[in-house]
Amino acid sequence: MNRTERSLLSFLDAPVVVGDPEGRAVYVNPAFEARFGVGSEGAAGQPLAELFQGGSREAVLRAVAEVCAKGESLRVPLRERGAGFSAVISPIVADEARVGVVILLREEMEGVERLLAIQREMADPIEELEATLQALHEQTGGRRSQRHRADVEDGLRALARLRKWAEELRATLAGRSDAAPQVASLEPAQLVRAVARRLRARAGAAHADFAFLAPASLPRARGDAAKLEAVLLRLVQDRLELGSPPDALTLSARGVGDAVLVSLTERYRPGVAPGAVKEPPLLREVLAACGADLHVASDPQLGRATVLRIPLAER
């Protein structure tokens, strides 16, 4: 096996083993070393079957013998190191003679894909539970309901932990647990100004006063500006489309420590309670991508405040 061939195999993400006509290993690529903990020096000269464990040894031994005898590729299912693999064993032919075999291992993903599907199914009831708890949170906003409000807040915190671990499961199954996502940055003051410009006319059409409060500039924050703008627009639009919309809306932004707080405050006429609203689609996904948090507080006299806490961008 020449250096060029080895160099090409070294770039493959899938584990590869190359054997000689006697069924002994002559080369394993870096992906095999990383996945199975066996380097080329340790593998060289060993029977191919000895590189595997348990029942996989006999399966590889039979498959290699058959491939060498017939000169035809063979696919064999293997269970190795707690994972399922599909091993494609092919003859190496040179000058019309079989001079060895190459084993390409591809991890079977059916189980992982099933778990990913279950995680996606979990997302809907999590969203529904949170919407219900948020509605209860708003309904228990008065001082006379402090105990019930505390119980609901405990439920919301537990649900936040459940969401976090469900998302961690998805990231791990997708093979991204060790990869830090690349997060874009944005200028928060510019973002909220753009949102305010688009909302003034809509607020006027709903007969609601609209105010905007933000400094000329703020430190850059994490997140996708276009997606966060869409989320903010949807948040405000949902308030304006309520059966009893607020009398006044205030959109504001300010820097606090290591984050920027973007707030939407709603004020209602005396005797009118804030109506229940649903979160915009993909809101949580957009916020999770930049590490932002969402908090909603409601009071019969003061109205409702929705606050996004967006972490500052890394410098």
Q: What is the CATH number of the domain that holds 309?
A: 3.30.565.10
CATH of residue 56: 3.30.450.20
pLDDT band per the 50, 70, 90 thresholds, residue 179: very low
At which of 108, 137, 169 does a domain end? Answer: 108
Whether residue 236 sits in one domain with residue 201? yes
Number of domains in the chain: 3
Mean pLDDT of 196-223: 87
**157, 88: one domain:** no
pLDDT of residue 219: 92
Average pLDDT over residues 192-206: 85
Q: Which amino acid is at 45?
A: G
Which structural domain range is residue 216 located in? 182-315
Do 237 and 300 fall within a single domain? yes
Which H, E and C letters describe 169-196, residue by residue? HHHHHCCCCCCCCCCCEECHHHHHHHHH
pLDDT band at 10 (very low <50, low <70, confident <90, very high): confident
Lowest mean pLDDT among 7-11, 69-73, 280-284: 7-11
Between CA 308 and CA 10 the distance in angstroms is 46
Q: What is the pLDDT of residue 312?
A: 92
Our CA angle for 314, 156, 158, nearest 5°, is 85
- pTM here? 0.44
Among 178, 304, 180, 297, residue whose Cα is nearest residue 239: 304
SS3 282: coil
- Write the pLDDT tens digit of every residue in 58-95: 888 888 888 888 888 888 888 777 677 888 999 888 77
Average pLDDT over residues 218-227: 86
User: Of 83 and 29, which is predicted with more confidence?
Assistant: 29
Among 285, 291, 310, which residue's Cα sits nearest to residue 123?
Answer: 285
Q: Is the pLDDT of residue 49 over 70?
A: yes
- Examine the domain organization and report whether 282 and 187 are in the same domain: yes
Residue whose tokens read 């060790």: 178
Residue 144's pLDDT is what? 52
Residues forming beta bridges with residue 24, ordered by sequence position: 47
174: pLDDT strictly greater than 70? no
Residues 6+ apart with CB under 8 A from 143: none
> For the chain, where are the alpha helices, taking DSSP H only?
3-10, 30-36, 40-43, 55-70, 110-139, 146-173, 188-205, 225-240, 283-290
In this structure, the number of other CB atoms found within 10 A of the CB of residue 80 comes to 22
Q: What is the CA radius of gyration of the chain?
A: 30
Please check whether residues 165 and 128 belong to one and the same domain. Answer: yes
Could you give the CA distance from residue 88 to residue 105 in angstroms, rounded to a whole number?
6
